[in-house]
Amino acid sequence: MTVHFIGAGPGDPELLTLKAQRLIGSCPVCLYAGSLVPAEVVAGAPEGARVIDTAPLALDEIIAEIEAAHARGQDVARVHSGDPSLYGAIAEQIRRLRALGIAYDIIPGVPAYCAAAAGIGQELTVPEVAQTVILTRTAMKSTGMPEGEDLATLGASGATLAIHLSVRNLLEIERKLAPLYGPDCPVVVAYRVGWPDEMYIRGTLADIRGRVRAQKLTRTALVFVGRVFGESQFPDSALYDPEIPHVLRPRARG
């Protein structure tokens, strides 16, 4: 018996990997985070499968379902949004499974920040503008941020920031980042990426809070901050420069 932690991607069922789709379609037990994973993603569960939305459950209740499946010798598809390695809350589940001697594996999924970049038609690493992307969040009612991972510290790098779980904390984002990036720095808020009602709101650090408030968005959004979202004048990558040879494109002999 194995618990498969499955990354379901940001919401679009067509962004499931083939492996994720196969496992969801074969496991007799499917536990999915219904607040972030559409029911359509797990619609391929086998007929008669035990399919449970874990959004209203506490950790002990989720583990109890897994223990019961283990006792029956039934594999479990534990479906999370995006990629489980990012804010997936799988670490505490894995810790419990290890203590119980229950086998598990992890199936990666499409992260929300990748799907959002695709949705706005944007490369996040543009030559001489941005070559670093920092994935982070801010602390509100959730667990606190470790020392040295506050926005002011991370923003000092000037890197593109992909700020998760923080759409209700835009005032703090503005306060911490405007002195570092400038109040005119472009911001993109990606709401419910991959869902039928997905939305992308563009603005700056100075005005994004008002734009988001006008749309009444309070959850399920990713906040991008960085000059890359407003820059169109940049050099071509050296990757395809005929004057810069590499092993697959040696310099022509003259």
- Tell me the per-residue pLDDT of 71-129, one tens digit each, with 9 for 90 and over: 999 999 999 999 999 998 999 999 999 999 999 999 999 999 999 999 999 999 998 89
Record the pTM. Answer: 0.89
Q: Which residue in the block uniquely carries the two structure tokens 């119980």?
A: 100
Q: What is the pLDDT of residues 178-228, one digit of tens each?
A: 999 999 999 999 999 999 999 999 999 999 999 999 999 999 999 999 999
The token pair that represents 246 in the structure block: 């590499």
How remote is the C-alpha of 117 from its chain's centroid? 11
24: closest CA among 54, 4, 2? 4
Which backbone phi and psi does 191 adopt, to 5 degrees?
A: -105, 130
Buried b (16+ CB within 10 A) or exposed e, 21-40: bebbeebbbbbbbbebbbee
Q: Tokens at residue 228, please?
A: 């890359």
Q: Is 51 helix (H, G, I), strand (E, B) or coil?
A: strand
